[in-house]
Structure 1
Amino acid sequence: MQQVLSQSEIDALLTGLADGDFKTNLDISAGDDDVLGYDLANQDRIIRGRMPTLDIIHDRFVRMFRLTLSSSLRKVIDIGVRSTELVKFGEFVNTLPVPSSLNLFRMNPLRGTGELENKTDGRDFTSIEQKIIKRIAIQALEDLYSAWRPVFAVNISYARSEVNPQFVSIVPQSEMVIVVTFDIEMGKAPMSMILCIPFSMIEPVRTQLQSGFQSDMSEMDSITFSRFRKNLTEAGVTMVVELGRAEINVREFLSLREGDVIRLDQEADQPLIVKVEGVPKMTGMIGGFKGQQSVKIKGLLYKPPHGEDFT
């Protein structure tokens, strides 16, 4: 319990302070070694606050680029955002190996130049690899444009490529940049891609980026769905026509010879089951067309979507 001073003790304390009987400060030496400089113009001291809209833009970009890359390479690709950091450009450049695949781009009317970097294994790129990387980089920039469009109308254009990070000076070494690292999984070959955007480039739209999506969400969902449907209709599927089935024992199987006939459970004049990716979807009759075995569709085992044009 705290002790409460009486009125006489309070009067004595005030009298002592007025007469100088009590010291109210300590003699502390403030030498030059104890003084730290404070640069009010230093960017890493004035940048505050999250930018949730920018995070959503990058999430949308991941979804779009995943579909684009999977369709272009004709295999399943998985892409995710590993981290988003705010660092000085000089520190970022020092982390890049030589050679690196550095693809520079512009975002007009925002000033400055951005950078798209792909990790490499430390060897030089062949001319074929450079062409493939440039094509993929341009596709990535197209998806980045689509992700940005509902928030701010930017025109993203490919500028040039470099392999030595020291030759890339998009901003001064001390300027802050936003570094977004993406993990790309392509089978058993994991890799990463880095998006570097100068903070000064997005400064004019910082207010929009610090506020959340509102009506733009529905527009971006529409764009994502449209691209998903387009890529989905171009995906390949496996179709199998099942002639029938039969059960035999091991002795019968081992005694099979050329010319033997196996009776199936399917009647000769009955339609066959047509499977798509292992799922029964149609029925059809076996026949021939231009010298090749073919199947004529007789009926559907599923309800087709109405009002959708997938052609």
Structure 2
Amino acid sequence: MAETVDHAQVEEVLDTIEDSDAAAEPASGGMSFTAAAPAIPTGPTSYDFGHPDLLSREQARSMRTLHQGFAQALAKRLSTDLLSTVTATIGAVDHLTYAEFQMLLPTPTVLGVVDVPVLGGRIAVDLNPRIAFSFVDRILGGPGAPLEGNRALTAIELGLTNRIMQRTCEELGRMWKPIQEIEFSFLSIEANPELARVVNPDEMVVLITLELEMNETKGQMNLCLPYVVMEPAIHRLAQKNAAPALGEGEARHVEDALQDSLRRAPVTVDVDLGSVMISLRELLALQEGDVLRITPAAAKGALASIQGVPRMSGVPGISRNRRALRVESVHPPKPESGS
């Protein structure tokens, strides 16, 4: 049965609600209020229509995981091509307009324009000039020293940098393959960011930053992915059960890429035919046609080293008019001494 309350009781209840943010004085019946109910926001919530949130939390996490695998695969590929250790770690995953992305880049820069036919658009890959010149110096046989200052690439340097961009596109396509078959076709490199026609300036892009390092030279690689282009692939990435498939596909790709890189990796094989002791006077008097008698022990066999590590012994000779070594025994690798 409903109970009727008078006006005084209603006023008392309203006063209690208004004062609920502070501790209330004990009532005559001995009861007291010590906590207030959580306030419910009633005001407007700010929203930036110029920079809307493109990625959900799950999408952002999936994009980071995907490109972590890409960074590892790219580092292994570059390490093989450059015969030097290259590391790559993923940095920020952000979103901004394409015009803002262009303003972040120096002039001149190394900005690769990449076509994505299956998605009907283009993306951009920016390589910091400092690390780009370091890669070029290594390709040309140098130690990988960076360029002091900044300038545009020469024709020869541009051709070498094109190869790096092509490798990047290949690894990017392999990493996206478990999600969607996407071909990233490298088109050209622009030194002036304003001349790179990728998408309208006011379009939103997803910016993924990689931190590259080789021989203490550091630089960034920025993947500029226009949302209007990559939206279908991003939605596929965030579908149910995409994360487990991504992890399995990523691990499989990294393993396949590593095996492929190892098969194609060039190695140096040195064959030691022996040694002979001569005086400095005899060394200075050596001429073409002179014969050096090697030690008898060395004449019985030759030691072959791979990358400076002795691995096999054999008999030197001639095969098809070329100097050759017939392998007689293989030495197992020596276990590394513990620290």
Deviations 1:253-295 (A, max 9, x none): 9x97767xxx98x856754544434444222235577999764
Cα distance change of structure 1 residues 258 and 294 upon mapping to structure 2, 3 Å threshold = farther
1:117 shift after superposition:
0.9
Cα distance change of structure 1 residues 111 and 36 upon mapping to structure 2, 3 Å threshold = farther
Matched, 1:153 2:162: no
Deviations 1:2-42 (A, max 9, x none): xxxxxxxx978525469x999969xxxxxxxxx97855855
Question: What letter corresponds to residue 63 of structure 1 in structure 2?
Answer: Q
Q: Give the SS at the match of 1:132.
A: helix
Cα distance change of structure 1 residues 267 and 71 upon mapping to structure 2, 3 Å threshold = closer
Cα distance change of structure 1 residues 21 and 99 upon mapping to structure 2, 3 Å threshold = closer
Residue matched to 1:297? 327
Distance across 1 between alignment mates of 2:298 and 2:17: 113
1:114 shift after superposition:
1.0
From 202, 206, 209, the equivalent of 2:237 is 209
Q: Check the 8 A contact 1:49/1:210 in 2, yes or no.
A: no
Distance across 2 between alignment mates of 1:115 and 1:139: 14
Matched, 1:140 2:149: no
Question: What letter corresponds to residue 226 of structure 1 in structure 2?
Answer: D
Question: What letter corresponds to residue 72 of structure 1 in structure 2?
Answer: D
Q: Percent identity?
A: 21
Please identify, of 290-299 and 71-80, the stretch whose mean Cα deviation from structure 2 is larger: 290-299
Matched, 1:48 2:56: yes
From 93, 98, 113, the equivalent of 1:89 is 98
Please identify, of 204-213 and 54-63, the stretch whose mean Cα deviation from structure 2 is larger: 204-213
Q: Give the SS at the match of 2:256.
A: helix
Residue matched to 2:336? none
Alignment of 1:242-257 (within 5 A): none
Matched, 1:200 2:195: no
Q: Give the SS at the match of 2:105.
A: coil
Q: Give the SS at the match of 2:228.
A: helix
Q: Check the 8 A contact 1:93/1:165 in 2, yes or no.
A: yes
Give the root-mean-square deviation of aligned CA atoms. Answer: 4.2
Q: Check the 8 A contact 1:103/1:116 in 2, yes or no.
A: yes
Question: What letter corresponds to residue 105 of structure 1 in structure 2?
Answer: V
Distance across 2 between alignment mates of 1:15 and 1:38: 37
From 73, 89, 92, the equivalent of 1:64 is 73
1:149 shift after superposition:
1.0
Cα distance change of structure 1 residues 46 and 68 upon mapping to structure 2, 3 Å threshold = closer
Q: Check the 8 A contact 2:274/2:298 in 1, yes or no.
A: no
Matched, 1:284 2:314: yes
Cα distance change of structure 1 residues 23 and 194 upon mapping to structure 2, 3 Å threshold = closer
Question: What letter corresponds to residue 107 of structure 1 in structure 2?
Answer: V
Q: Check the 8 A contact 2:173/2:184 in 1, yes or no.
A: yes
Distance across 1 between alignment mates of 2:119 and 2:216: 38
Deviations 1:218-268 (A, max 9, x none): 4443433333223212323344456789xxxxxxx9x97767xxx98x856
Please identify, of 140-149 and 108-117, the stretch whose mean Cα deviation from structure 2 is larger: 108-117
Q: Give the SS at the match of 1:44.
A: coil
1:107 shift after superposition:
2.3
Q: Give the SS at the match of 1:226.
A: helix
Matched, 1:14 2:22: no
Q: Check the 8 A contact 1:241/1:275 in 2, yes or no.
A: yes
Residue matched to 1:127? 155
Q: Normalization by structure 2: what TM-score?
A: 0.64
Deviations 1:191-221 (A, max 9, x none): 2221111223332233432355324544443
Distance across 1 between alignment mates of 2:250 and 2:45: 46
1:98 shift after superposition:
1.2
Cα distance change of structure 1 residues 101 and 110 upon mapping to structure 2, 3 Å threshold = same
Question: What letter corresponds to residue 284 of structure 1 in structure 2?
Answer: G
Residue matched to 1:29? none
Q: Check the 8 A contact 1:274/1:282 in 2, yes or no.
A: yes
1:47 shift after superposition:
4.2
Matched, 1:75 2:84: yes
Matched, 1:177 2:205: yes
Distance across 2 between alignment mates of 1:170 and 1:191: 23
Question: What letter corresponds to residue 161 of structure 1 in structure 2?
Answer: I
Question: What letter corresponds to residue 14 of structure 1 in structure 2?
Answer: Q
Distance across 2 between alignment mates of 1:23 and 1:219: 57
1:112 shift after superposition:
3.5
Distance across 2 between alignment mates of 1:21 and 1:63: 64
Q: Normalization by structure 1: what TM-score?
A: 0.69
Residue matched to 1:105? 114
Structure 1 residues without counterparts, runs of 5 or longer:
1-9, 26-34, 246-252, 304-311
Deviations 1:75-107 (A, max 9, x none): 333222233222333332221111122212232
Q: Check the 8 A contact 2:66/2:246 in 1, yes or no.
A: no
